[in-house]
Structure formats: structure tokens, C-alpha cells
Amino acid sequence: MQQDRREFLKSAAALAVASLTARGGAADKVADRPNILWITSEDNSPFLGCYGDKLARTPNMDAMAKQGIVFEHAYASAPICAPNRSTLITGCYACSLGTQPMRSGNAIPDTVRAYSEYLREAGYYCTNNSKTDYNTRIPKSAWDECSNKAHYKNRKAGQPFFAIFNLTVSHESSTHRTPDSTVTDPDKIVLPPHHVDTPVMRRQWALYYDAVEKLDTQVGQRLRELEEAGLADDTIVFYYSDHGGVMPWSKRFLHERGTHIPLIVRFPKKYQHLAPSAPGTRSDRLVSFVDLSPTLLSLAGVSVPANMQGEAFMGPQAKAPRQYVYLFRDRADERPDAFRAVRDQRYRYIRNYYPHLPYGQHLNYLWKNPAMPDWEAQFRAGKCNAAQSAFFLPRAQEELYDLQADPYEVKNLAADPACQDTLQRMRKALRDWQLDIRDTCLLSEAEMMRRAEGSTIFEMMRSKNAPNLERLMEASDLAGQRKADNLPKLVALLKDADSGVRYWGAVGLWALGEKAAPAAGELRAALKDDNPSVRVAAATALLCGLKQPQGALDTLKASLSDPNEMVRLAAINALDNADDALIQPVMEAVAQLKQGYPARVAEFMLGKTEQKRPRTKKK
């Protein structure tokens, strides 16, 4: 059946291209097809003057905004680059493809193609300069040029182009320095309420505003280059960021500051008929990152493939405005995690699948920004208020924020009696979306990979052997409640025939901590489970929750040698979450981890980094 579906989609794509090129030859006339230029940046929320930021120095992007359309509610699908770029290149949510864990490289079906392949088939000259980071393999044939020298100037005479220039000056790494001075005055920084007010925090914020100013200069250079080439009147120009950021608790997290992106689109007069509104206007339409690819095809006159999950928001194939944008994040580098979110025009709902863990799990790369260890030191010294401490504490299973009244998302309304209708509506919207796209987060990463052996994760999730998502949702919901009354139900989950359900039973018992003591026997029995994810989760519950290392340490030590890196990573994270005194017998084995993400955690545990991990504290 999968093969039949694949052939059908291939035929449909070929038919779409054929119909495009047969429309009276119109699609072959360069005058009828716009050039399209994407100028992208990295890791920045809308810290631009045209978005109302009074401290920003962004004259080029502000001028572009006056000539184009500013989308005020554009959102990355994921708050970190590789999963979001996977979404962008395919027009499909990475969490539907199984490419959402950072740098996972999981394969996708050949029916899921890069948007540039459709453009090339339609006659466009496609260049990418130069970042890819798609979290999966995309064929070289997707681009005419893909390098740091790729340029639309190399196309044939009269050939329309699509070109991307990825500007990296505002990347997170720009905050890893400790400058003696900054152009931006640190005293003028308006700190968000979740950040501590220290000289280090202010300096790093100022440094980042300096990076955004440099970004603006580079955007201006690309716009002038287009003008000087005499192509501005034939080219639709997009500017957008790959996700929000980049100061601590923004990038990697599903709040407004991690997902809200700037998006400006400029239409020349020749193609104003494709624009949704006049130059100099602003749109409050909800736009998702997954929508960029179908919108690009729509503007280019190329049929949007049926298997793209995004929706065009401009051009002849534009859909009705969205009611919601959907957001996802799973493992970021060396720390497994999973949370999902949905946002409408006013509210954001976040569902945390491991709420017993803090957002502030130690990430090697995040802690390279001096503001992060400075903030952690303030927390450890007891100098943080509730909003500033929340990053280092266990999370709520559900979060609900009113973005109009609470733009920094400080007050969680999930338990507010007056907000229960909104909570239930947003909860249902998220659940329906997850079922619709066959969200993969309900399986551990190792289990997701194991079940897809010999196929792809996308195809496995739609096969006759696909997991029962409704049951996994029920199990994960129970696991995240952290209620002692659920103990018998969690034990029942631990004995289920489905290894995915058993996994959530073990996670739920871990989350109960010492309240899971009556289930110690069942957890020890689960150490012999035939599924490695279940074994590691049961060992984690015993070691980290019940502080009973007997049997658990042996299981985790053995798992450090598992052929699946994600099993090894889960095991080393379990050891890192345990009390130091309990794990001394296995530290020699920890020291042997020298490769991949497990080695990062091992290095941290062995004290080779300067930072100490934030300890989980009870609320």
C-alpha cells in the first residue's frame, strides 16, 4: 500500500508540473513568473524597529517594511534550527516525519521532496547560500547551486530564479563573547521579567542588539545588490528569521520569545496582484513556518503538492487564515525532552511531556552564553524571584498564557477556573493536530528509530504496525499528572503489552519520586523488559525517583554500551539526574563515553565544564 501511495504521489507531482507548463505557455514566460529572494537570519525574535523595538537600529529592514508587508504573527514551527529547517524544506512538520530531534538525520520517504525540486522542474534556477542543516538527507539535485558562492547571477539569460541567502551574524554564537564594551548601552536594555538584572545579563543583551544591527547591514547589502543588478522590479523579497531567540530561555523553548519571528515580504509593482495587501501595510494573520514552502510555490505558479502539510498564505493558492499555529520541540542536543504548543490570536497552550524535569537542563551550548551561568549562580544563591526561578524548577504539565495581558508568559492560567473553556479548546486543538499529522513524540526517540528499522519513521507511523496514538496519549497524560492516586494505574501501564505504554508507566513512576515506593518491585521486574527504552526508564525511576540503585545502576551501565546512541543518551541522562553519591560505582564507565551527545553529558558529569547542572527542586 505504501508503494502504491508513493507512486500515486509521484504521478500527481508530475501531472502538476505538466499542467503548469501547458497553460498556453504562460508559465514559460519570465515576465509572468517572479524571481523570489529569501533573506534569512538566525536566532532572532522581532528585535526590529518596524516591530516597535525602540532600542533596535535596523534602518534597512525598517525601510523594507515600509515598502512591503509586515506579518505581526509569524511563528517558527520549532524553536531550534535543524528541526525547523526540516519543516521548511519539506513543507511538512518535522515531528510528523520523525526529523524533530536535533541533528537526528532520520530518513524521509522519497515522496516527501524539497520545495526547490518542484521549482527546478518548473524552470526556476534555485540557489542556496549556504546553510542546509535539514536534519535529514536532501538530494544534491534539489539545488542548481548550494555553497557559500551560490548566486542567482549564474542563471541562464531570461531564467527566473529562487535564491536564499542565509545570514548567520545573529546566531547564538554571537553571544558567547565577553566584550569590554558594546555599541548598545546596557543600561537601556528593558529586561524581560524572567531574567535577573545583573551587569552580565545586561551586557549580553546589549551584545545581541549589536549583532542584530550587523544583521541589518547585511540585509541592506543584499537588497542593494538586487537593485544594482536591475532585478528589484522583477523580484519578490522575503526577510525572516529561522526561529526566535537568542538569550537564555528563548531559543529551544516554545514560548513567544522562542517561536515568534519577524517576517517582511516586499512585492514589486509588477507582482502587486499577488500580494494580500498594499505596500506599507501590516497583517495580523497567523503564519506558520510550515506555510512558507507552499506559499513560495503558490507565488511561483507551481501547484502545491497534496502531501505538504503547510498552507499557502499568499498567491493564487492561498488558503483561509489559520485559527492556530502548532509548535513542537523534542531533544535539543544532549538533553531528551518533549513539549508541544498551540497558539491562536490571543492564547498559547503548552503541553509538557516530562514536567518533572526543569526547562533548565544543562546544555553545553546554551551555557556558553555568559548570561546563562550568571543567571544560574543567582538562582543557586537564592537571589531570584518566582519568575526568574521557574526555569530551574519542575514545570507544570499544562501551561496557558494570555498573550495580550501577559506577553512575557509569566502567569500560567491553566488552573484558573475562569479559563477552563479556553484550556479545553486549546488542549483539543493540539490533540486533534497531533492525531492528524501522526505526531511521533509519544514514542521515545530510541523506540521511534527501532520501530522504523527497514522503513522510515513517517511510513512506520502510517503502516499497519503504527502505534496506537490515542492509547499513548492517555498513558503520557497519566504519567505527567504526578498524582499518588494514579499509582495502581501507572503500575498497570508498566505491565501493558505495548512497549510504548510501558515506557510511559515507568516515566510516570519516576515523576512520582518517593511516592512510587510501593511499585519498587514492579520497577525492578521491568529492568528485565525486552525493550531498552522501558529498561532505562524503569532504572531511572528506581535511581532518581526512589534513590534505590540496586539493579538500576547495572541496567544503566549496560545501557551505556547499547548500539543505539539514543539508548546510551537516555542512560547517561538518568545517571546525571541521580544523586552524585549513588552513581560513583559507574563513573569509570561514564568516563569511557567519548563520542556523540552522550560524551557531552559525560564530560559535564566529570566536571570538565565550568558549569554545574541545575538541581531539580520541588515546588
Which amino acid is present at 244? G
SS3 176: coil
Contact 242, 219 (CB under 8 A): no
On the 0-12 / 13-18 / 19+ scale of CB atoms within 10 A, 52 is exposed
CA distance 309 to 401: 26
Report the C-alpha gap between 493 and 504 in whole angstroms: 7
CA 397 to chain centre: 19
Alpha-helical segments (H) within 340-419 = 371-380, 386-389
Gyration radius of the chain over CA positions: 25
**C-alpha to C-alpha distance for 253 and 45, rounded to whole angstroms:** 13
The residues, any chain, with a CB within 8 Å of residue 586's CB and separated by 6 or more, are 553, 556, 557, 560, 575
d(CA 388, CA 376): 10
Could you identify the residue written with the cell 529547517? 85
Q: Please give the backbone phi and psi of residue 88, each rounded to the nearest 5 degrees, phi first.
A: -65, -50
441 is known as an active-site residue: no
- Cα–Cα distance, 141 to 534 (Å, whole number): 41
Exposure string of 153-174, with b = 16+ CB inside 10 Å and e = fewer, is eebeeeebbbbbbbbbbbbbbb
Catalytic residue among 50, 81, 95, 441: 81
Active-site positions read 81
